[in-house]
Amino acid sequence: MLLARLSTAVLAATLGLSPAAADTKTFTFTADEWAEGEPPQEVFIVEGKIQVAAKDGNKALVIDPGSELTDACAQVGTSAAGESSIQARVFASKRARSVPKFGVSVHGMSGYRLLVNAAKKQLELVKSDQVAASVPFTWTSDAWLNLKLEVKRGEGDAWLITGKAWPADTTEPAAPTLKAEDKGLKGQGKAGLWGTPYSQTPIYFDDIQVSIETANP
């Protein structure tokens, strides 16, 4: 079962606001109540073999390496019409000298991605396969990592894109790990999970949180 919260609907009811004033939706996805195997319909698989599997006493979405290497992707939540953010815990492993690449995204297939590029030892903000910003980053194999990507409006037609990465057993840092600016974004599309299992080992995603701005009726 999907565990999803529409936070603004509750907030609007609490504050006595009209539905038009509540223009942000928040979803939380956990896999513990899902059956192992094929994901429920709330998870739209774009590419790759993605299933629900047991992990560390719980369940998680997993990108299975399979027989063919591909940039696997699944989308979650509903489509944004403005600002968007996604946060998830991710677990991946190396094998010999081979390491994976993985991350999260907003605003559909052509939107911004926050990627851990373990081979380059970088954390990257990527759009349309172009790196908009990067910082040195040392990834730890076989350890849960939190990733958080936010895309928010700035002044005029400017947009601010920020990314964070921190060990799952530590506190979220106040400042972003890296950031970029852009102009004229459409701000449309679903949030997503990405992984390329170059190491031929599974990539797990859990505790996925999505917040999107929606159009007022």
Residue-range domains of the chain with CATH: 7-213 (2.60.120.560)
- Beta strands per DSSP E along the chain: 24-29, 43-47, 49-55, 58-64, 72-81, 84-91, 101-105, 112-117, 122-127, 130-136, 145-153, 158-167, 178-183, 188-196, 203-213
**Which pLDDT belongs to residue 217?**
60
Instruction: Tell me if 210 sits within 8 A of 191, measured CB to CB.
Output: yes
pTM attached to this predicted model: 0.88
**Which pLDDT belongs to residue 66?**
80
Single-letter amino acid, residue 84: S
**Cα dist from 131 to 2, 27, 197, whole Å:** 33, 28, 20
Q: Provide the residue-wise pLDDT of the chain in tens; the chain has 217 residues.
A: 334 444 444 333 333 333 344 389 999 998 998 999 999 999 999 999 999 999 999 999 999 998 678 999 999 999 999 999 999 999 999 999 999 999 999 999 999 999 999 999 999 999 988 999 999 999 999 999 999 999 999 999 999 999 999 999 999 999 999 999 999 899 999 999 999 999 999 999 999 999 999 876 6
**Which pLDDT belongs to residue 153?**
93
**Helix (H, G, I), strand (E, B), or coil: what is residue 201?**
coil
Instruction: Tell me if 91 sits within 8 A of 142, measured CB to CB.
Output: yes
